[in-house]
Structure 1
Amino acid sequence: MEQELISKKDLLIKTGISYGQLYRWKRKKLIPEEWFIRKSTFTGQETFFLKEEVLERVERIKSMKDDVSLDDMVTVFDKKPDSFPAYLTKEDILKRNIVSSVVIEQFAKKFTLEDRISFDLVCLYYLIDKMLREGKISRSEGELIYQTVEPYLQHVHQKDGVFYFTRKMGVPVVTVVSPPGDAHFDPEVGIIEKYSFHKLFIEVKEISQGGKKDE
């Protein structure tokens, strides 16, 4: 069955983006050049896109742009299998100082030094470790983050998502929002941390490949 097309004009109206944004994203290769389909119409040549494909990509860019640079998004949308390492060993995580031994021992007790740990899990350990080092959470709150976020790791890796850690009257709440969608909280809720999962994956990838970790 032939896929439905959407015109450039209708794309801009439906998504609320500008002509300039669209072509900037094209120059950055966030929207591949081959997605721009030129077709003859009764008014002349017009540009069309595969509707479902381009709408999903534009929404992902919009959901990420406040947390991830356009240059880093190129890595996110890179379909090569080595875009993210699939696994790291416990030994690698400790040697490269990706996550502290305290967090590894708390959350990865079942793994030996040689066992392969999924990259998604490593990212979650890193997030908990980062928040502990910054004094934003307690170790028991780290457990709450782990239990809440872990079931959604594969989904947000593929579709992006945003993690929120909030408190109201001292009570911690962990929320995962998958796009398209915005989170709206009670005005009395304090947002302690907000993190794009793609930003998280990029940070851990850079550290795992030899980049520096913030102290």
Structure 2
Amino acid sequence: MLISKKDLLKETGISYGQLYRWKREGLIPEEWFIKQPSFTGQETYFPRTKILNRIKAIQELKDKYSLEELAKILSPEIAERYFTTDDLSIIEEIDKNLIPAFVKGFGKNSFLYIEVLLMIGLSDFKKQFGASLGQLINIVEGLKGYCEKIKSTEYIIVLFDKSDDYYATLYKEQAEVYIDARLNIVHTIHLNELSSRFKIKYRKSFNFRFDDEDYSVQDDKNMNMSYSY
């Protein structure tokens, strides 16, 4: 669903100048500015959920970080580090009871950044839909071969249920994807949204460096990871 520029400015309370400044600073991707013909010539539209979530994040964080720092936080770049099972135990959004299942599904004890995001998304999926350990392992085994190939977080995971099991597809944001109408979509995971919140909340724990200021640990604790899947 799209939202027009006029309605976006009205709904968020930001100005035309702010919107285009954030675009120039790399806070809002250029591809989100979608030109469509209108009776006045051309009108600019945006993917509604994405742009509203992004502007909300910018408004929440702009007093703590410079625009340059925010661009790094909100960028789709993948953190270049591995995560151990001890690291996973620090991440509140990963169900600790699922860690053995993730170890079994991935077949290893250290994990890529994108794999950690997948674990966070699947932990939330289990919480909402009650998927079994076996079903989660199957999803991981079906997706793990693609994780090393992914060089950014600009991907979406869509989960389906069929014949008492769950299946997943992975595709890049903005791509046109046509899914068999016979499949029932039960959950969607936006990796870029997960990544932005994760980088902020666990900035100190995993040394994600965006600035030189020493914010308190309590600031990190107060940064809740709220997602729109």
Q: What is aligned with 2:218?
A: none
Tell me whether 1:27 sits opposite 2:18 in the alignment: yes
Q: What is aligned with 1:91?
A: 86
Secondary structure of the structure 2 residue equivalent to 1:31:
helix
* Kept after mapping to 2: 8 A contact 1:165/1:175: yes
TM-score, with length taken from structure 2: 0.56
Q: 1:118 to 1:105 in 2, by over 3 A?
A: same
Which of 57, 68, 87 is the matching residue for 1:72?
A: 57
Task: Give the AA of the match of 1:208.
Answer: Y
Task: Give the AA of the match of 1:131.
Answer: F
How far did 1:156 drift?
A: 5.3
Task: Give the AA of the match of 1:200.
Answer: L
* Kept after mapping to 1: 8 A contact 2:25/2:71: no
Map 1:141-156 → 2, pairs under 5 A: 141-153=135-147
> Alignment length, in residue pairs?
175
Map 1:1-215 → 2, pairs under 5 A: 18=5, 27-28=18-19, 29-32=21-24, 56=31, 58=33, 62=47, 65=50, 68-72=53-57, 78-79=71-72, 85-87=79-81, 88-108=83-103, 110-111=108-109, 117-153=111-147, 158=152, 160-209=154-203, 210=221, 211-212=223-224
Question: Tell me, which stretches of 5 or more residues in structure 2 are unaligned?
Answer: 35-45, 59-66, 204-220
How far did 1:144 drift?
A: 2.7
RMSD: 4.2
* Kept after mapping to 2: 8 A contact 1:67/1:196: no
Task: Give the AA of the match of 1:90.
Answer: T
Larger-Rg structure? 1
Bigger CA drift: 137-146 or 67-76? 67-76
Deviations 1:18-47 (A, max 9, x none): 58869968624441169xxxxxxxxxxxxx
Task: Give the AA of the match of 1:134.
Answer: Q
TM-score, with length taken from structure 1: 0.59
Q: 1:24 to 1:186 in 2, by over 3 A?
A: farther
Q: 1:177 to 1:75 in 2, by over 3 A?
A: farther
- 1: distance between equivalents of 2:120 and 2:87? 13
Secondary structure of the structure 2 residue equivalent to 1:158:
coil
Deviations 1:63-112 (A, max 9, x none): 9716833243789982479x76543443232134342332222223632x
- 1: distance between equivalents of 2:125 and 2:166? 13
* Kept after mapping to 2: 8 A contact 1:96/1:207: no
Q: 1:188 to 1:128 in 2, by over 3 A?
A: same
